[in-house]
Amino acid sequence: MKCIDDSLDNIAQTQLEKVLKKKLKLQKKNIICKNKDIKEAVPLHQDISYSPNNPYHFSLWLALNNVDRNTGALQLIPKSHKLPIQPAVDFWSPMYSSSKIYNKLYKTDIKVIELKKGDAVIFDSRLWHGSLKSITGKDRHAYVTRWEILDLGFSNIPEIKSEYFGMWNCHDITTNILSSHLKKYDSTFCEHNDFIMLLDKWKDIIQNENITNINKNQVKQDLKNVSILHKAATKHDAGDLTGKIYKSLWYSFLSRL
């Protein structure tokens, strides 16, 4: 896979630099998906608000499957990159959908972008965009690269502020809760052990200890899902955009400790 994406990156950079007549730097790349388990819509947002530490100027969104309205097509608001950069809002927060600016945006002329496999869309990191909910649950994958135009600065990007338990701090809060409560069952476990070891330890405890008021099978599955996500995030910059995985563990286990 690495050989393939490196080759794609080199081709993309060569062609983009030729068209733009600018030197580019690849800042970030990842594969995003919808499938039978991940169907949720992605709310309208500006990418640049979520990358204050490694900002980029535009994204190249390459469809790896045919994409239509029923499989979670891209949505975008033409010319919205000219609007001021808004603070990043946690997608998990109910405040996101009720905020005045977002309600106003959803009343504007939103374009739905349907693509064939191999088609690509290039858009400014300030452009308001999102994606529709997948109705069919069919696989919808895209390879997305984020590019900085060298010698071109950035507008002021507002500081990110975390919710109580959300997309920016869920890992740290989960780690702290699991570590602090582990002492009840294993006083020798070192808090500085890595996250995967911590999750594995809890899976053993769930299996062998008599912990009431939980569904053991559900908790074990949720711990496994968080473990898989963490490994994928470390290796491939994967994420839990809608919070399905961490929130499931929160409700099945963390909130009961």
Domain spanning 6-149: CATH 2.60.120.620: yes
Domain extents in the chain = 6-149, 169-256
144-177: pLDDT as tens digits:
999 999 999 998 999 988 877 888 899 999 999 9
Q: Which two tokens stand for residue 213?
A: 């008021």
CA distance 102 to 100: 5
Say what the pLDDT of residue 89 is.
81
pLDDT of residue 238: 76
Compute, in degrees rounded to 10, the torsion defined by CA atoms 172, 173, 176, 177: -150
Residue 237 is predicted with a pLDDT of 76
pLDDT band at 21 (very low <50, low <70, confident <90, very high): very high
Q: How far apart are CA 237 and CA 135, in angstroms?
A: 26
* pLDDT tens-digit map of 58-111: 999 999 999 999 999 999 999 999 999 998 988 887 656 555 666 677 677 899
- Looking at residue 25, its amino acid is K
Q: Nearest 5 degrees, angle CA 148-CA 229-CA 208?
A: 160
Q: Indicate the range of 75-89, 97-111, 112-126, 207-221 predicted with least confidence.
A: 97-111
pLDDT digits (tens, 9 = 90+) for 23-39: 999 999 988 999 988 89
pLDDT for 192 equals 56
Distance in angstroms (rounded) separating the CA atoms of residues 183 and 189: 7
Answer yes or no: are the C-beta atoms of 65 and 128 closer than 8 Å. Answer: no
Contacts of 187 (CB under 8 A, 6+ apart): none
CA distance linking residue 227 with residue 200, whole number of Å: 8
What's the full length of the chain, in residues? Answer: 257
Banded model confidence at residue 212, pLDDT cuts 50, 70, 90: confident
